[in-house]
Amino acid sequence: DSGVTQTPKHLITATGQRVTLRCSPRSGDLSVYWYQQSLDQGLQFLIQYYNGEERAKGNILERFSAQQFPDLHSELNLSSLELGDSALYFCASSVETAVEGYNEQFFGPGTRLTVL
Amino acid sequence: SQQGEEDPQALSIQEGENATMNCSYKTSINNLQWYRQNSGRGLVHLILIRSNEREKHSGRLRVTLDTSKKSSSLLITASRAADTASYFCATVPRGTYKYIFGTGTRLKVLA
């Protein structure tokens, strides 16, 4: 158990819908990362938050958005869903230093999203 | 091609043998990390090697880093069936906070 929790574990929805994925980082970790893992694209970095502020953005679509709340939990919002958004979505957290990420990430169990 | 590519893509060995997988990357980095993923599960951190280190050991794991060639290797000695998993390298290009994971090596250890 990494200490990172994600809900829900599974999500089945239809094209055009909007969903929210939730992540609670390990106690004390200020950074939260979101990743998308699909068979054809591998593990893609989406976005990172550090202590409530967006720190880095990766291959995140405009239809996707995220935020980190004062209690450090984070939510990833996916809207206007398409079939190609079906994937495993992972959240990870880490203790961050003041400079570029040097630290190991702890991954949650993931949310499996199926868009029908 | 993307930053962080592992080879081979797949590797099948007998229990007790050593497994070596390689990672190549494109830009200057501060550190390189290796992760393991069991099928459909979250990734688990294995080892981190800093850019000023050439070799690091952790139990049955040995990691090397050659910054001149922009490559790293992960050696698992005396492999066990429980080592069956996918292995990924991850880098953070210098000057960014973006973690870039490689394409992964699928290791199968036969009992």
Q: Which of B44, B48, B98 is the closest to A58 by Cβ?
A: B98
B82 token code pair: 């429980």
Q: A6 to chain B nearest CA, in Å? A: 11
CB A109 within 8 A of CB A9: yes
For residue B1, pLDDT beyond 60: no
Model confidence pLDDT, tens digit, residues B49-99: 998 999 999 999 999 999 999 999 999 999 999 999 999 999 988 888 888
Apex A20 CA angle, A74 and A39, nearest 5 = 95
Q: Does A56 contact B30 at a Cβ distance shorter than 8 Å? A: no
Model confidence pLDDT, tens digit, residues B50-62: 989 999 999 999 9
Model confidence pLDDT, tens digit, residues A95-109: 876 555 567 899 999
B41 touches chain A (CB under 8 A): yes
Distance from C-alpha of B59 to C-alpha of B37, rounded to nearest angstrom? 18
Q: Which of A42, A48, A100 is the closest to B103 by Cβ?
A: A42
Work out the mean pLDDT of chain B and round it to a whole number. 91
Within 8 A by CB and 6+ apart from B103, the residues are: A42, B2, B4, B5, B6, B9, B88
Contact residues, chain B, for A110 at CB < 8 Å: 40-42
Please report the pLDDT score of residue A41 as a whole number.
Answer: 73
B88 touches chain A (CB under 8 A): yes
